[in-house]
Chain A
Amino acid sequence: MSGLGRVVRAGVRRRRLTTVAVGLAVLMAVTAAVLGASLLVASAAPFDRAFAGQHGAHLTAQFDAAKLSPAQAAGTARVAGVTAAAGPFPVVLATPPDAAPLTLVGRAGPGGAVDDVALTDGRWPAGPGEIVLGADAPYTRTGGVLRFPGLPGSPAFTVVGHARSVSRTADSWVTPAALTAPTGYQMLYRFVDAGTDTRVDAARGRIAAAVPAGALTGARSWLVVRQDADRNTGIFVPFLTAFGLLALVMAVLIIGTVVTGAIGANIRRIGVLKALGCTPVQVTRAYAGQALIPATAGAGLGVVAGNALAVPVLAETNSVYGTASSGVAPGTDLLVVAGVLAVVAVAAIASAWRAGHLRTVQALAVGQRPVSRHGRAAAWIAARVPGPPQVGLGLSRPFARPARAVGLIAAVAFGAATVTFALGLAATTADVAAAKNHDLGAVLVRGGLQFLPRGQQPGTPPSPKPITGTPAQIGAAIAAQPGTRSYYARGETSVAVAGMSGTSDLYTFGGDASDAGYQMVTGRWFHGAGEAVAVSTFLRETGTRVGGTVTLQAQGRTVAVRIVGEVFDPHTDPEVLVDAATFPELTPDSYYVTPRPGTNTAAYLAGLRAAVTPYGMQVLTPEGTRSGTLLALNFLTGLLTVMLVVIAGLGVLNNVVLDTRDRTRDIGVCKALGMTPRRTTAMVLTSVLPAGLAGGLLGVPTGVALYARTAPAMGHAAGLDLPGQAVNVLHRPELAALVVAGPLIALLGAALPAGWAARTRTATALRTE
Chain B
Amino acid sequence: MKRLRATFLILPAATLIFLFVVLPYVTVLVMSFRAPADGQPYGEGFSLAGYAQFFNEGYYAWSLPQSLVLGILTTFVCLILGYPVALHIAKASKRWRGLLYGIVLSPLLIGIVIRSYGWTILLGNSGVINSTLRQFGLIERPLPLMYNNFGVVLALAHVFLPFMVLPLLSALQSMDPALGQAARSLGAKPFTIFRRITFPVSMPGVQTGCILVFVLAISSYVTPALVGGMRVKTTTLLVIDALIDQFQWPFGSAMALILAVSAGLIVLIFARLTAMKWN
**Real binding pair:** no
